[in-house]
Structure 1
Amino acid sequence: MPEGDAVWRTARRLHQGLAGQVLVGSDLRVPAHATADLAGRRTIEVVPRGKHLLHRIEGDLTVHSHLRMEGSWRLHPVARRHALGTRHTVRALLWTAERVAVGESLGMLDLVRTSEEHRVVGHLGPDLLDPRYDASLAVANVLADPARTITEACLDQRNVAGMGTIFTAEPLFELGLNPWTPVGHLPTETIEDLLHAARRMLVRSARAGRTTVTGQADVNQDDGFVHGRMGLPCKRCGKPVRLATIGRQPQERVMFYCPVCQGGLAPNDDGGRQAPLGHGRSERRTR
């Protein structure tokens, strides 16, 4: 699932391409809004809210979407609208005289009153990429359930919006925290430091135009320390990075971590050999 930085970049591209432009037509391919006609309305802005996208249009209307695992929004020349529209994965088309925004494999698509956006995003906690981010509220939300693991608390978008597995695993590694630590076992200052680190990484990635942990690698390099590096040497201690599940279904996730640098094996990790993920990365590139 795209994390907050990727959603922020998507919103920025859509905003730059559509803001101030009048929609010539629309095609929302969900039963509840299949007959909606947005033609003649001007795009006011496209903004992110955590992992949600809010495309605000004249007349108190917002096209709300969530990318989930496979979704995307892309801009194309309007001449390609008919060809692109034949794809069975397309869920939305919004076009001006020059461009067409194509929403594919969207996990969520709604048309709501802008004045009632709280119906679709009101449950979210403070957004780490929001200039008005409320750090105190985010920390209080995470601390609210002391028995939860710190990973589950951070991934819960009702507590703090924008963190996914990358920007949970990497800040946890930076601070040397075991992902399976109960929230109640951590000082408030540690929670503050963790969320601050996550926000710093997300802001850096948003500004860089790509997902990056340190900001030092180029687009062809992986500068992460643990995420995606199962079976490869930890860049800090040299021992293999590991992968284990965390949480309960249907919210169960997988988490990458270094048991040496982060306080031991996960409760459900037997310590057996784990082969590197087969995604083409070499140890030379990730060292």
Structure 2
Amino acid sequence: MPEGDTVLQTAGRLRTALAGRILTRSDLRVPRFATADLTGRTVLDVASRGKHLLTRMEGGLTLHSHLRMDGAWRVYAPGERWRGGPAHQIRAVLANTEHTAVGYRLPVLELLRTRDEDQAVGHLGPDLLGPDWNPDTALRNLLSDPARPLGEALLDQRNLAGIGNVYKAELCFLARVTPWLPVGDLAAPTAARLVTTAKQLLEANRDRPMRTTTGAVLRGHAPHERLWVYGRTDRPCLRCGTPIRTADQDSRPAYWCPRCQSGPTR
């Protein structure tokens, strides 16, 4: 699942390709908006809000999309072959004279009035990479249900927006607790530090092509050393050497070190 930093980078690529230019082609391949024609409109901006993308156009229209598990936007030059997937996976095409943006496997694609964007993103908590970031509000949201497992609370975009399964696993490791620990069991300093660390990690990776939470970004580091626990099942913990374990949590894999992280496990 794309995380907030990935979505921010996607918004940047789309903004560079589309903003300030007139659409010469539009094709929304979802039944509800299949007849909508955006040709002739100027794209004003492309913004990210948590994991949501908002492509704003003149005339007060916004194209709202969400990548969820495996959606993607690709940008192509004129005449360049589209390589994002087979044609039947294309859900949107927005083009001008210089670029073509193609949306693949988009589970959410809707056209709405810009003034009504809150209908799509108004439920979100503070955006870790947005101008509305408020650590106090994020912490209060995160702790609002004390019995809820920490991993689930971190993924709930109503608490704070931008954390996906990668950052969930890494944040739990850095807090030295398992993803199944009830958030109410977190010590107050640990909870506050968790929110601060989440902000720091996403900010550090907002412009990086390769995400890292360990700081291993220099040449010579193996890919599996860039993250503490995520995707490292049975590999030795980078801190203590104990094999990393994985189990299901709310239909997603959870990773943890059984020695470095305390709390209940699956």
Shorter-chain TM-score: which interval? over 0.9
* Residues 265/135 of structure 1: CA separation in 2 closer, same or farther (3 Å cut): closer
Work out whether 1:258 is the aligned partner of 2:257.
Answer: yes
Q: Is the 8 A contact 1:30 1:109 kept in 2?
A: yes
* Residues 8/215 of structure 1: CA separation in 2 closer, same or farther (3 Å cut): farther
Q: 1: CA distance between counterparts of 2:246 and 2:141?
A: 27
Which residue identity is paired with 1:94?
A: L
Residue in structure 1 matched with residue 103 of structure 2 by the alignment: 103
Residue in structure 2 matched with residue 173 of structure 1 by the alignment: 173
Matches for 1:135-150 after TM superposition, within 5 Å: 135-150=135-150
Matches for 1:115-126 after TM superposition, within 5 Å: 115-126=115-126
Residue 102 of structure 1: SS of its match in structure 2?
A: strand
Q: 2: CA distance between counterparts of 1:172 and 1:83?
A: 36
Residue in structure 2 matched with residue 46 of structure 1 by the alignment: 46
Residue in structure 2 matched with residue 230 of structure 1 by the alignment: 233
Gapped runs of 5+ residues in structure 2?
A: none
Q: 2: CA distance between counterparts of 1:76 and 1:7?
A: 18
Which residue identity is paired with 1:77?
A: A
Residue in structure 2 matched with residue 274 of structure 1 by the alignment: none
Q: 2: CA distance between counterparts of 1:229 and 1:239?
A: 11
* Residues 261/86 of structure 1: CA separation in 2 closer, same or farther (3 Å cut): closer
**Range with bigger deviation, 103-112 or 206-215:** 206-215
| CA RMSD between the two structures | 2.0
Which of the pair has the greater relative contact order for Cα pairs under 8 Å at 6+ separation? 2
Identity %: 47
Q: Give the TM-score normalised by the residue count of structure 2.
A: 0.93
Residue in structure 2 matched with residue 79 of structure 1 by the alignment: 79
Residue in structure 1 matched with residue 55 of structure 2 by the alignment: 55
Residue 88 of structure 2: SS of its match in structure 1?
A: coil
Residue in structure 2 matched with residue 216 of structure 1 by the alignment: 216
User: CA offset at residue 113 of structure 1?
Assistant: 0.6
Q: 2: CA distance between counterparts of 1:84 and 1:190?
A: 41
Q: 2: CA distance between counterparts of 1:182 and 1:165?
A: 17
Q: 1: CA distance between counterparts of 2:141 and 2:118?
A: 18
Q: Is the 8 A contact 1:85 1:93 kept in 2?
A: no
**Range with bigger deviation, 78-87 or 106-115:** 78-87
User: CA offset at residue 70 of structure 1?
Assistant: 1.5
The size of the alignment, in residue pairs, is 263
User: CA offset at residue 82 of structure 1?
Assistant: 9.1
Q: 2: CA distance between counterparts of 1:55 and 1:215?
A: 33
User: CA offset at residue 84 of structure 1?
Assistant: 8.4
Q: Is the 8 A contact 1:2 1:69 kept in 2?
A: yes
Q: Is the 8 A contact 1:3 1:51 kept in 2?
A: yes
**Range with bigger deviation, 202-211 or 116-125:** 202-211
User: CA offset at residue 183 of structure 1?
Assistant: 1.0
Matches for 1:157-172 after TM superposition, within 5 Å: 157-172=157-172
Which residue identity is paired with 2:247?
A: A
Which residue identity is paired with 1:253?
A: R
Q: 2: CA distance between counterparts of 1:22 and 1:130?
A: 27
Matches for 1:176-215 after TM superposition, within 5 Å: 176-215=176-215
Residue 138 of structure 1: SS of its match in structure 2?
A: helix
User: CA offset at residue 200 of structure 1?
Assistant: 1.0
Q: 2: CA distance between counterparts of 1:106 and 1:194?
A: 31
Work out whether 1:239 is the aligned partner of 2:242.
Answer: yes
Regions of 4+ moved over 3 Å: 78-86
What whole-Å deviation, never above 9, does each CA across 1:152-175 have from its counterpart, x for those lacking one? 111101111110111111121112
Residue in structure 2 matched with residue 151 of structure 1 by the alignment: 151
Residue 128 of structure 2: SS of its match in structure 1?
A: coil
User: CA offset at residue 265 of structure 1?
Assistant: 5.9
Q: 2: CA distance between counterparts of 1:105 and 1:85?
A: 9
Q: 1: CA distance between counterparts of 2:167 and 2:159?
A: 15
Q: Is the 8 A contact 1:61 1:114 kept in 2?
A: yes
Q: Is the 8 A contact 1:172 1:179 kept in 2?
A: yes
